[in-house]
């Protein structure tokens, strides 16, 4: 039975007003600006964040509904943009490395939405995430790995895809350099939160009930880092809305970028 509208509205207000409820019901909440990279490192070191099995389980439940929608012909914008970016490379069945794969759901997105699919490998620094990915997709290759120190040789993959994880990697400069190194032809930075008019900012928030660090990038700095890593911007797409101006005072959004390796 569908609850009356007034009951739903009151319920939402109660959730938002109660810290323990909003942190365990809402996907992202309780944003706070951090003082800089050292504060971000300290905040990350003091919390299990993405390493915790309960965080993995809550994230997986959230994405199961999105995967079901995709299977029913209604993929969310970020799924369609990811597939479009991969197909824009023109490579048939590319060797693709996903950095920060979480529980592996993008392996299913690419299988469903990319014509011809991809030869997929997923990595994540969280053992709990990789354990869940292997359980969900036993025929797919997943490894525990550090995005800032990849064990793969130069140009090991046609495409390196970083989807919604760069924003959680405090040493993102090293992650960009490593992505460029192991990419043979292209890099995709997907659903990256950016400011057009503000510098890179570190935030602390609760994601799926766990305290995590998040980065909103100054777009000009991000593009400069990519150029320095030997990447040339080919295309960019607007992606899902993500405005943290309430806490930062500056409007943000997310974008997806397709880069080629500079020759």
The string of pLDDT tens digits covering residues 9-44 is: 433 343 343 344 333 444 556 789 998 999 988 888
- So what's the pLDDT on residue 14? 32
Position 210 scores a pLDDT of 80
Q: Does residue 9 fall inside a structural domain? A: no
How confident is the model over 98-153, as pLDDT tens digits?
A: 999 999 999 999 999 999 999 999 999 999 999 999 999 999 999 999 999 999 99
CATH number at residue 186: 3.40.50.150
Q: Is residue 6 part of a domain?
A: no
pLDDT of residue 194: 98
Residues 6+ apart with CB under 8 A from 129: 50, 56, 101, 102, 103
The span from the first CA to the last CA of the chain, in angstroms, equals: 61
Asked which of 45-49, 95-99, 189-193 is least confident by mean pLDDT, the reply is 45-49
Strands annotated E in the chain: 28-33, 95-99, 119-124, 141-144, 157-163, 183-195, 201-207, 210-218, 231-238, 252-261
Query: Is residue 254 one of the residues assigned to a domain?
Result: yes
Which domain does 153 fall in, by range?
30-261
Report if residue 16 sits inside a domain.
Answer: no
Query: Chain centroid to CA 38: how far?
Result: 22
- Whether the pTM exceeds 0.85: the reply is yes
Q: Which residues, including other chains, have CB under 8 Å from residue 21's CB and lie 6 or more apart?
A: 14, 15
What's the structural domain count of the chain?
Answer: 1
Q: SS3 for 160?
A: strand
**Quick check: is 243 in a domain?**
yes
Residue 188 located in a structural domain: yes
Q: What is the pLDDT of residue 61?
A: 84
Please check whether residue 203 lies inside any domain of the structure: yes
Q: Look at residue 168 and tell me whether its pLDDT is greater than 60.
A: yes
Across all residues in the chain, what is the average pLDDT? Answer: 88
pLDDT-derived band at 3 (thresholds 50, 70, 90) equals very low
Q: What is the dihedral of CA 206, 210, 212, 216, to 10 degrees?
A: -40
Residue 1 covered by a domain: no
pLDDT band at 211 (very low <50, low <70, confident <90, very high): confident
């Amino acid at each position: 039975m569908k609850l009356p509208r007034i009951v739903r509205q009151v319920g939402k207000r109660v959730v938002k007003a109660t810290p323990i409820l909003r942190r365990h019901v809402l996907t992202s909440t309780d944003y706070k600006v951090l003082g800089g990279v050292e504060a971000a490192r300290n905040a990350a070191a003091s919390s299990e964040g993405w390493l915790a099995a309960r965080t993995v389980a809550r994230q997986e439940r959230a994405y199961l509904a999105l995967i079901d929608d995709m299977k029913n012909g209604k993929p969310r914008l970020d799924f369609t943009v990811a597939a479009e970016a991969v197909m824009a490379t023109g490579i048939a069945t590319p060797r693709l490395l996903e950095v920060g794969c979480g529980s592996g759901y993008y392996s299913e997105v690419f299988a469903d939405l990319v014509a011809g699919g991809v030869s997929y490998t997923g990595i994540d620094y969280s053992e709990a995430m990789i354990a869940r990915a292997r359980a969900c997709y036993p025929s797919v290759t997943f490894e525990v790995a550090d995005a800032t120190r990849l064990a793969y040789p130069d140009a090991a993959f046609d495409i390196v895809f970083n989807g919604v994880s760069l924003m959680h990697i405090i040493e993102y400069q090293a992650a960009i350099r490593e992505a460029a190194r192991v990419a043979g032809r292209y890099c995709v930075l997907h659903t990256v939160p950016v400011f057009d008019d503000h510098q890179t900012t570190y935030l602390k928030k609760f994601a799926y009930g766990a305290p995590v660090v998040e980065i909103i990038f100054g777009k000009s700095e991000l593009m400069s880092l990519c150029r320095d890593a030997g990447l040339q911007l080919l295309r960019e797409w607007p992606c899902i809305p993500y405005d943290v101006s309430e806490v930062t005072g500056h409007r943000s959004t997310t974008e997806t970028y397709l880069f080629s390796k500079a020759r």
